[in-house]
Amino acid sequence: MGRNLPRDLKVLSGAFFFLFMGAGAQQQFLLPHLRETTSWGTMRYSLILAVVYISFMFWRLGIGYSIRILGEYRSIVLGSLTYTAFVVTVLSSRCYPLTLAMALLWGWGAASLWITGGTRVLNVSRGERYGTSSGVLYLCTGLGFTLGVVALGATRTRWGGDTMYGLALGLSLVGNFALLFLSRGGGLPPHRPLREVLKLMRTRRVKMVGSLQFVSALSFGLLLGTVADFLPKAYGWRSLLLTASFPLARALTSLGGGTLSDRMGRGKVLALALGISGLALLTSAGWTTPLSLGLGILILGCQSGVVPTTSLALAGDVAEPERRPLVLGAMFFWRDLGVVTAILGGQCLSVALGTIRAPLIAFGLIFLACAVWSLKLEEVR
């Protein structure tokens, strides 16, 4: 299959692999690291990660302006550099305002990288292979994240957080370098991109896909926030194995989920992923043992692999090349809102009620409701 993949897809997938092995995977350890190395308090250090996704979320809507100024190629390269810059900040500073500022900048860079990168993947792929091409990108991203979680986690356990962040920096720089081999050029979004994105957000299909993205992203935010804070305190070294199961499952199901959506239809695949993950969360809430939590995290990873891949493919189905950055912004805005909601909301529920079960039950019921709703996706235009 590799020989049939477009060159730019290979370059992007390789770059994402290293970026998410480094800067991407360090997110999993950011909150515990800040808890151990600062005196900021739970909600203040949780806010750092939330600000990344709040900025990411709003830049999804306005990224068309910077793409028009920078062009597609520079938007991807400069966006990737903000991942590395955030790692440098955490490694070298304990200044809260500076870390917040870099979190804001990283949000812009993440929006720039993902929207222009996703657009490039769709534009170099054939229509009947949108799901497969999207799956390849997410597969490499997820594998990088998985290996990064294991490598960074082991480094942190053996040599400490600063050494871990040094390794994350080196891996991220490899990803930055790989993007220099990406083809120049690319299309530009229409004039007045914000107006166009807001108009798209009012269409029925984008509303529905956006809502499903929001719900799906609760799982990723739950893992980065409440679960990441809970597991090391409850299970020690075993938490690394539990944590690594999420990105591994996400990686392995990205390609299969994308290809399956090309054949079965986007709505049916989304319903299957959301329904199984809802049941998994409810099971984990009933029995908070390492086995049940591990199974729940594994299945949440599968859902987190299928939903974004299928949504990216759907953007290729419904939009012309020059409008794809706008459609991706309108759809994935809700994904980032879901991550922020889960990071802050899950922590608030855990602190208020003194148990991890409350957020697991709440999010599990939401997933089941949306699984039923997503079956109607094919009927919506």
Residues 6 or more apart from 119 whose CB is under 8 A from it? 72, 186, 187, 321, 324, 325, 328
pLDDT of amino acid 31: 86
- Backbone Cα Rg of the chain: 19
Residue 225 is classified by DSSP as I
Q: In terms of pLDDT, which residue wins out, 169 or 280? A: 169
- Give the pLDDT confidence score for residue 102 in this predicted structure: 97
- pLDDT at site 297: 76
Confidence (pLDDT) at 83: 98
Q: In which domain, by residue range, is 348 found?
A: 2-379
Q: What is the pLDDT of residue 4?
A: 78
Q: What is the per-residue pLDDT for 160?
A: 94
Give yes or no for residue 2 having a pLDDT over 60: no
Q: Band of the pLDDT at 336, cuts 50, 70, 90?
A: confident
Report phi then psi at 354, rounded to 5: 70, 20
Tokens of 70: 């920078």
Which pLDDT value is given to residue 231? 62
Q: What band does 350 get if pLDDT is binned at 50, 70 and 90? A: low
Checking if the pLDDT of 358 tops 90, the result is no
Judged against a pLDDT cut of 90, whether residue 41 lies above it is answered with: no
pLDDT at residue 356, rounded to an integer: 62
pLDDT tens-digit series, residues 267-281: 889 888 888 888 877
6: left (phi over 0), alpha (psi -120 to 50) or beta: beta
Question: What DSSP string runs through 137-185?
Answer: HHHHHHHHHHHHHHHHHHHHHHH-HHHHHHHHHHHHHHHHHHGGGS-S-
pLDDT level of residue 314 (50, 70, 90 thresholds):
confident
The total number of structural domains in the chain stands at 1
Tokens coding 185: 């050029």
Q: How confident is the model at residue 79 (pLDDT cuts 50, 70, 90)?
A: very high
**% of the chain residues with pLDDT over 90:** 38
259 pLDDT higher than 70 = yes
pLDDT band at 335 (very low <50, low <70, confident <90, very high): confident
**CA distance linking residue 332 with residue 216, whole number of Å:** 11
The most confident of 76-90, 198-212, 220-234, by mean pLDDT: 76-90
| CATH classification at residue 93 | 1.20.1250.20
CA–CA separation, 365 and 307 (whole Å): 17
Which pLDDT value is given to residue 202? 83
| Residue type at position 369 | A
pLDDT for 237: 59
Q: What is the mean pLDDT of residues 75-95?
A: 97
pLDDT for 238 equals: 63
For all residues of the chain together, what is the average pLDDT?
85
pLDDT of residue 290: 66
Highest-scoring range by mean pLDDT, 27-31, 140-144, 257-261, 360-364: 140-144
Q: Is the pLDDT of residue 210 over 90?
A: no
Tell me how far apart the alpha carbons of residues 62 and 58 are, in angstroms, rounded to a whole number.
Answer: 7
Mean pLDDT of 313-330: 86
Q: Which of 172-186, 237-251, 322-336 has the highest mean pLDDT?
A: 172-186
